[in-house]
A and B are shown apart, each in its own frame.
Chain A
Amino acid sequence: MRERRVAQGARRAREFEAFVAGAAGRLSQTATLLTAEPPKDNPRARRLLTHALAHTYADWDRLRGEDPYDRTRQHLAVRFARGAWHRHSFFRPALGGTLNMLSPQERLILVLRLYEGVAEEQTAALLGLPAERVHAVCLRAMATVLHPPRETTPRVAKVVAPS
């Protein structure tokens, strides 16, 4: 009984390490896009990703053929959606490029739909929104990224940085 558990733990660790070695780059990029942090300095994205991967690790023996990448991405998206609304919605780091002009929801939908290639219906189901809304938000976000409005930069300056 005990030996079996040890063997199972070793197998889980081995498989998980192989999975992370393959998927960490892309997942890390996804998380960084979500938080709109600069790629060199992304503590929030890193925390988000560590939590999502930890859940995948804990659920590893119960995945039953489900794609661990898919599972991690879902964790990432749901966790970001929950956290973005009530804590960080008004705090935007000054660096990070075009994505900073989007709201967290717009960013989430844009990244899931275009960077990760998740279908509209699946995105809608994951976030609990109607598919038409996902479509509309995605179009709006695309328009903002392609034709950034000039006068939105001062929004960042008004926020007092937490010490």
Chain B
Amino acid sequence: MSLREREAAVRRVLERTPPQVPPGLCGDAMRRGGRLLRRRTAARRLMWLVLLAAVVAFFVWAVMARPWVEPPSETTPPLTGW
């Protein structure tokens, strides 16, 4: 028996039972899929919200703390050259 014949024989075994569509399958899948979609949308929104909040917090902190301004010198510089 060649490989091709054996494959055909196994295929016949697999196709022996006729396919049956369970009732309500489409509705169930759509309901579940819709829930999945809504959850994904909510997760994406939450992510953007967190990102936005982080950016706002950073700007507020930057304006308050002004990290780019040189801090006032606390020690007197050495007096040289006179």
Contact = CB atoms under 8 A, between A and B. Distances in A.
A16 to B, nearest CB: 6
Interface range for B: 20 to 34
Contact of B13 (A17, A26, A29, A98): A98
A70 B77 CA distance: 75
Label chain B's interface by main secondary structure: helix
A28 interface: yes
A79 B75 CA distance: 68
B36 A58 contact: yes
A91 to B, nearest CB: 21
Interface stretch (A43-51, A80-88, A118-126, A152-160): A43-51
B62 to A, nearest CB: 33
A28 B26 CA distance: 12
Interface of A: 13, 16-17, 20-21, 24-26, 28-29, 32-33, 39-40, 42, 46, 49-51, 53-58, 60, 98, 110-111, 114-115, 142, 145-146
